[in-house]
Amino acid sequence: MSSAQSSSNTAAALFGWDVGGAHVKVSLADARGAVHDVAQWACPLWQGLDHLERTIDLVFERWPQAHTADARHAVTMTGEMVDLFADRAEGVRAIVATLARRLGARPDFASHASLRFYAGDAGWLAADACAAGWRHVASANWLATANWLATRVADAVLIDIGSTTTDIIPIVAGRVAARASTDAGRLATGELVYHGVVRTPLCGVAHRIEFDGATVNVMNEWFATTADVYRLTGELEPLHDAYPSADQGPKTPAGSRARIARMIGRDAHEAADAHWLCFAQRWRELQLREIGRNLANVVAAHPALATAPLVGAGCGRFLVAALARDDARDYLDFGALAGVPDVCAGWAATCAPSVAVALLAARE
């Protein structure tokens, strides 16, 4: 899935890659750092590296210049976390090796490798340095987004809500003020929340929920996901709905009603469609409450952010706008801040780390 195709055939193109466990997101920029196009592909990396290989083929198909000698590639990742790999170090090595083999590591005009990996405070690493520096490379995509945003907004809270996770990153006085840098640490501080708007099982959102005036237990089964909720509320764009439903059934309102009904032991025909919409809105409320609780904890550590704007990124940024309204804060969209063409501004916000890593690399 992707944005509208760009007609740009910019020489010395710069590609920003965000290699996740479920999607690969890539941005095309020129040598001056102007982003021309953004795209995303579903890539279930936990099923094997062949999925990453096929995605790279699709990138070359979309942008033939990505495979030319003068192309530059800047990469960040989170895919090392998938259970295909024995541990994160192995995951970083495997992803880096695949990209290095397919994209190459040729010297470019700036005397840096044409393929570089974002390593946060450690800077940019060549492929052959990533095995030793894997801790800096692993799951650094949120830091790329936040570091670029800090060059544009002095005080803000970046909230990137994707298909699977939510990042809540404080930016204070033009600096990233996160209290932790690893996934483990960020889960402890509330800066990482495993809630997304597509792949999150509903039994991970709440164990009890109100339906038809009564509060009932939720089945701890993967009967439905948050995609079912946001299909029913009309907030999930079809282009972001890339994965099969929990029961492999149709991704339609009727299919979603059947799946969320199973979460409380019911069938969809037992209530009117309007009741199931109310039920979906209740799930939405509970997910928003959990993200809001973590937002409050993050903000509490930084008094300067008491009234700071929220910057929304990810395919679930409609929830960031809702949080801003609820908290009487200004809302800023990452796509607008990135200054990309209108035709791909939405995709730039959805794929924010790939855009950010391209823009950071262009400044080098």
User: pLDDT tens digits, residue range 177-224?
Assistant: 999 999 999 999 999 999 999 999 999 999 999 999 999 999 999 999
* Torsion sign across C-alpha atoms 37, 43, 48, 53: negative
- pLDDT number for residue 113: 57
3-state secondary structure of 43: coil
Would you say 59 and 16 are in contact if contact means Cβ atoms under 8 Å apart?
Answer: no
- CB 240 within 8 Å of CB 1: yes
pLDDT higher than threshold 90 for residue 62: yes
Q: Does domain 14-142+338-362 have CATH number 3.30.565.10?
A: no
For strand 192-193 and strand 331-333, is the pairing parallel, antiparallel, or unpaired?
unpaired
Given a cut of 70, whether residue 268 has pLDDT beyond it is: yes
SS3 201: strand
Domain ranges of the chain: 14-142+338-362, 202-288
pTM for the structure as a whole: 0.93
For the record, the structure tokens of 335 come out as 């796509």
> What pLDDT is attached to residue 107?
44
Helix (H) or strand (E) holding 297: helix 273-300
**The domains spanning 14-142+338-362 and 202-288 adopt the same CATH topology:** yes
Whether the pLDDT of residue 105 is over 70: the answer is no
| pLDDT at 19 > cutoff 90 | yes
CA triplet 215, 219, 221: central angle to 5 degrees? 155
Can you name the residues that pair with 20 across neighbouring β-strands?
Answer: none
25-42: burial string, b at 16+ Cβ within 10 Å, e else: bbbbbbeeebbbbbbbbe
Lowest mean pLDDT among 24-28, 82-86, 337-341: 337-341
Strand pairing class (35-42; 23-29): antiparallel
The b/e string for 178-214 (b: 16+ C-beta within 10 A; e otherwise) is: beebebeebeebbbbbebbbbbbebbbbbeebebeee
Single-letter code of the amino acid located at 168: I
Least Cα distance to 105 among 71, 131, 62, 135 occurs for: 71
Q: What is the per-residue pLDDT for 112? A: 46
> In the structure, what pLDDT confidence band is assigned to residue 323 with cuts at 50, 70 and 90?
very high
CATH annotation of 202-288: 3.30.420.190
Among 23, 21, 25, 18, smallest CA distance to 3 is for: 25
Which pLDDT band holds residue 6 (cuts at 50, 70, 90)? very low
Q: What is the dihedral of CA 37, 176, 292, 303, to 10 degrees?
A: -140
CA atoms of 86 and 91, how far apart (whole Å)? 8
Beta-bridged to residue 225, according to DSSP, are: 201
User: How many whole angstroms separate alpha carbon 282 and alpha carbon 289?
Assistant: 10
